[in-house]
Structure 1
C-alpha cells in the first residue's frame, strides 16, 4: 500500500497545540505519511524557537519556511506573506503532498494556502466559518475557506457560514475544536508542579493573561493594553499575574516590551514566550480566571469550568459559553469584570465547541475520501439565505 502524504503546516505555538493530537493520529495511521512544515514564530528566537518543541514531541520537521521579517508593521507583515508564498512554493515542490492540512486564520497560513492552491494540492481547513470582527483574521479565514476543499468546522453556526460561502455541504464536517482533545488526553500538572515548572509561586487569587494585537480596531493595541495593565496594577500584589506573550502581529513587539516593563516593577507577575500545551492547560486549571482577547479563552477555557474575561472586539462574533464575560478595553470596566469573574459560578458551564474527539473524526473523514485530486474542481453551491 502506498501511503498518502498528508502535510500539516504550523506557524505558532498555539496552533501547534491545537494540531498536536491530529498530527499524532496521522503519524500513527498505517495508511498515511505525515509531513510537517513549520514557519512563522516557530523559527524565531524572539518567540522561543518553538519548532524544537515539535521535534522533542517525536515529530520530524520536513521543511522550515522562513518568512517573518523583524518588522511587525503592516508593511512588514505584507512582505512576510510574500516571502511565505515563495518559501511554501519551494517546500511543496520538494514534498509533493497529496493533501495539505491548515488550521485557522493567521497570515502565515494564508501564504501556505495560496501556494498550495496554485500547486493544485487539495486543502483541508480546520476552524473555518468562525467570525472575529475585530481582526483582519476574519477575512483571512474566509479566504482560506474558498481555497480549501474539505472543511472541518468547530460548531454548527460555523458550518452554516461555510455553506453560505458556496462550499459543498458534503465536504463540511462539524468535528468540534481539536484544542479540546488535549484536555481529554493530557495528564495535567498539579498546583505544586505548575509552580515548579513556572518558577512562580501562585497566590490566593491568580490570572492567566494573553492579549494579542487588535488589527481592525479604532483604538490602538497600545492604548487598549495600557488600560489592561492599569487594571491589573489596581488589583494589588496579592493577585498572581501570569502572562503569555502575544503573536507576531502588527504592534506585537510593542506589547511585549510593555509586558517586560510591567514585570520589572511587579514581583507578583511573570511572563513567558511560550508555555507549551501541558503547562498552559495545567496553568488554566489552577488560576481563577483567564484574561485577554485570545481565542483560547472561548475554545478551551470553558472546559475547565473557569471564567474568561474577554476584552474588546478581537473575538467578537465567535460562539461563546456562559463563562465568557465581555468587557470594553477600559480600565474601570476591565477591573469590574475581573472582580465579577472571581465570584462567577462556572460549575454548570457547557463548552459549545465539542467533546474532545475532533482528531479522531478528522482522520476518519480523511480516510473516507479515496482520491483527493477529485476535490480540486469545485462547484459553487447556492443556498437560500433569508
Structure 2
C-alpha cells in the first residue's frame, strides 16, 4: 500500500485535515501515517493530541519541537529542532508521500526534512497571501518544496503556477474547512451552551486574535484597542479563543485572561473550542472579530459578519461579509457599529463564500491514489 504521512501541529489545522485523514484511513489502497507535533503536545495549548486519539486515529510519531518561548529566537530554535526530529521520524516511517497543510513554522520544518529526505510532498492551501505574517514567505517556500498542490480557489491555483509549478500538479479543491460545515452535525443552542458552561446573550461576539508576526511588539497595543472597543458593546456576550504558539502570543493570552477575570458575567475564554464547538458557535454569533483566517474562509458560509483587523490577513480573498479595519480603537469601534447596523445585516443574507462549497477530501485522496510518486522528485520549472 502507498504510505501517506500526514503532519499536524495545531488544533485548527487538524480540524481542517480531519476528513482527509478519515478518507485516507478508510481507503484499502492507502496507509495513513500520522505525525503529531507543535501545540498538540503542549500542556499550555491544551494537549490536543488527546482529541486526535479520542477521534480514533493512531499517532505513529509524536514529534516534540515546541520550546517554552514565543520569542523570535525560540521560534527559530523550534524550526531547527523540527528539521532534526522530522528527519528521524521520516527515516523510521519511510512514507511514500508527506501530506501537509498551510504555512506555520512547524510545517516548514517538516517540509524541509521531507524535501532533503527525497520524499514527495503534497501541500494544501498554497498560493494564498497573508502579507502581515511570516506565514507568507513560509507558505511560498513550502510550495516550492512540494510536488502536488491542493488550493482553495482558482486564483490561488494560478498563483501556485505563477511560482513555477506545473499546472497538471495543481488542483483547486476548495477550502478544506468547508467540508466540516457540510458534514458535522452542529450543536443546538442549549447543547452548545452546556458544552461551554456559558449562557449566550441577546448579542454575541466571537473573538479570535493572533499576533501579526511581521510587526515588532504590536500585539499588546492592538489587542488593548480591541478590548476597549468590545467593552463598550451593550448586552453582548463575548467568547475568546486564545492564539497559537506565535511570537508574542503569550501577551494576548495574558490580556484575555485578565479581561475574563474582570468580566466573568459577559465573557469566557478557551485554549481550544475544537471544530465541533467552534463551528457550532458560529450559528449563534452576530460577529466574529479578530484576524484569523477562519473569519475569511469558514465564517462567510454562516452569513454573519467578520471584522478583520489589521494586516495579518491582508491579501486574502474576502467575501462581502468581511469588514476590514485598522488596528486602532476608532477603526475597530466603527467596524463594530457597521457590523451591527441594519444595512449590513440585510446584506448578509445574500453573501456567497468565495472559497466554495466542495468536499475536498475525496478529490485529494483520488489524486494521491493516482499519483505515481516515483516520478515526482525531479521537478521542472513552469515558465509562464
The reply to whether TM is greater than 0.5 is yes
Tell me which residue corresponds to 1:365. 367
Q: Does 1:250 align with 2:251?
A: no
Cα distance, 1:219 vs structure 2: 6.7
**Structure 2 residue corresponding to 1:232, chosen from 230, 233, 244:** 230
**Any residues of structure 2 matched to 1:204-353 within 5 Å, and which?**
204-217=202-215, 220-236=218-234, 238-267=235-264, 268-343=266-341, 344=344, 345=346, 346-353=348-355
CA contact (8 A) 2:24 2:31 kept: yes
CA contact (8 A) 2:291 2:312 kept: yes
**Any residues of structure 2 matched to 1:1-386 within 5 Å, and which?**
3-217=1-215, 220-236=218-234, 238-267=235-264, 268-343=266-341, 344=344, 345=346, 346-369=348-371, 371-383=372-384
Hey, what's the Cα distance between the residues in 2 that align with 1:97 and 1:169?
25
Hey, what's the Cα distance between the residues in 1 that align with 2:51 and 2:358?
23
Q: Which region of structure 1 is more displaced relative to structure 2, 75-84 or 213-222?
A: 213-222
CA contact (8 A) 1:125 1:148 kept: yes
Hey, what's the Cα distance between the residues in 1 that align with 2:14 and 2:339?
29
Hey, what's the Cα distance between the residues in 2 that align with 1:292 and 1:317?
16
SS of the residue corresponding to residue 268 of structure 2 reads strand
SS of the residue corresponding to residue 264 of structure 1 reads helix
Cα distance, 1:336 vs structure 2: 1.5
Hey, what's the Cα distance between the residues in 1 that align with 2:360 and 2:351?
20
Hey, what's the Cα distance between the residues in 2 that align with 1:245 and 1:165?
34
Cα distance, 1:68 vs structure 2: 0.7
Cα distance, 1:373 vs structure 2: 2.2
Write the deviation string for residues 319-372 of structure 1: whole angstroms up to 9, x where unpaired.
111101101111121112112112323111111112131111111111221x21
How many residue pairs match? The answer is 379
* Gap change, CA 1:256 and 1:219, over 3 Å in 2: closer
Hey, what's the Cα distance between the residues in 1 that align with 2:123 and 2:203?
39
Unaligned ranges ≥5, structure 1: none
Cα distance, 1:254 vs structure 2: 1.2
- State the TM-score, normalized to the length of structure 1: 0.97
Cα distance, 1:106 vs structure 2: 0.2
Hey, what's the Cα distance between the residues in 2 that align with 1:126 and 1:148?
10
Cα distance, 1:128 vs structure 2: 0.3
Hey, what's the Cα distance between the residues in 1 that align with 2:354 and 2:285?
22
CA contact (8 A) 1:81 1:111 kept: yes
Hey, what's the Cα distance between the residues in 1 that align with 2:251 and 2:63?
25
Runs (4 or more) in structure 1 with deviation over 3 Å come to none
Cα distance, 1:218 vs structure 2: 5.6
CA root-mean-square deviation: 0.9
CA contact (8 A) 1:183 1:356 kept: no
SS of the residue corresponding to residue 286 of structure 1 reads coil
Hey, what's the Cα distance between the residues in 1 that align with 2:57 and 2:323?
38
CA contact (8 A) 1:159 1:174 kept: yes
CA contact (8 A) 1:182 1:356 kept: no
CA contact (8 A) 2:173 2:358 kept: no
Unaligned ranges ≥5, structure 2: none
Hey, what's the Cα distance between the residues in 1 that align with 2:374 and 2:297?
32
Hey, what's the Cα distance between the residues in 2 that align with 1:169 and 1:206?
44
CA contact (8 A) 2:217 2:248 kept: no
- State the TM-score, normalized to the length of structure 2: 0.97
